[in-house]
Amino acid sequence: MPSNGSLLHDPEAHETHIIASNGTKLFSASSNSTKVPQQSGWITYASWLNTNSAPISSFTTTWTVPPAPKTFNGQTVFLFNSIEPSSGNAILQPVLQYGPSAAGGGQYWSVASWYVAPLGRTLPLSYSYVSQFTNVPGTALSIVGINQLTWATETLESYSVTTESDYPAGTTVFSGINLSLSGGKAQNVRWGVANDVQDGLTTTVNTDGARGAQITVKYYVAISQFTSPLHFAEKLRNKLSDRALF
């Protein structure tokens, strides 16, 4: 910094300038000139592990399709409820996605049911499941002869996100979460959470339990290096009921 000079930040242009004492602009830099990749994979989620002898027979969730992210940089955003075996090496999930994936997609929201398991495994003929979106034709996926699925989650997953605006604004609320076991209602269900503290994305359990539970995923309320917090106020739209029926 030159003697008697000053540092000036332009929040609208996201630029910082070094100004000489006579008012001459000596140097300028953009605070968002370089996009830094954010966390990838499972970003934040809530989960419950079934340790009962009776298997999960039904796991249903309802949520609203978020607004499209303000920016599209080839990122993929997944929102889903899922169940997995205790080993964690497979997953059954009805997925709402924004961006590209193996199921297709692009700069829009779309849905698909997924079952992912390791290649080359011999599947024991033990349990059968169906994953689907209610009232959305073509989304039912039946899986026959797999290990028991015991770990239930409500999850935000993403890839290739480089800025907070690659996510939707505001929150996504997973509501009407109902879990049943083959012997009836699941007892003593307490949802645990995992958060992306580094990037500021969080999951909150608003209502615990196996009946009528509610869980909220909160996207960025970001603080840039030079500006005050950015508050998102866009409302969610396009009500969509997501069901995973087993």
**In the 3-class helix/strand/coil scheme, how is the chain assigned residue by residue?**
CCCCCEEEEECCCCEEEEECCCCCEEEEEECCCCCCCCCCEEEEEEEEECCCCCCEEEEEEEEECCCCCCCCCCCEEEEEEEEECCCCCCEEEEEEEECCECCECECEEEEEEEEECCCCCCCCCCEEEEEEECCCCCCCEEEEEECCCCEEEEEEEEECCCCHHHCCCCEEEEEEEEEEECCEECCCCCCEEECECCCCEEEEEEECCCCCEEEEEECCCCCCCCCCCCCCCCCCCCEEEEEEEC
Segment 176-232, tens digit of pLDDT: 999 999 988 888 899 999 999 888 899 999 999 999 999 999 997 543 332 222 322
Q: Which CATH number fits domain 41-245: 1.10.8, 3.30.1370, 1.10.530, 2.60.120?
A: 2.60.120
Q: Which of 80, 79, 74, 78 is nearest to 37 (CA)?
A: 74
Q: Where are the domains of the chain?
A: 1-34, 41-245
Task: Identify residue 148 by its one-letter amino acid code.
Answer: Q
Per-residue pLDDT at 51: 94
pLDDT at 7 over 80: no
Global model pTM greater than 0.85? no
Q: Are 232 and 219 in contact (CB under 8 A)?
A: yes
d(CA 18, CA 245): 61
| Pairwise pLDDT comparison (162 vs 22), residue with the higher score | 162
Share of the chain above pLDDT 90, in %: 61
Segment 81-134, tens digit of pLDDT: 999 999 899 999 999 999 999 999 999 999 999 999 887 665 555 899 999 999
Q: Residues with Cβ < 8 Å from 53, sequence gap 6 or more?
A: none
Name the average pLDDT for the chain: 81
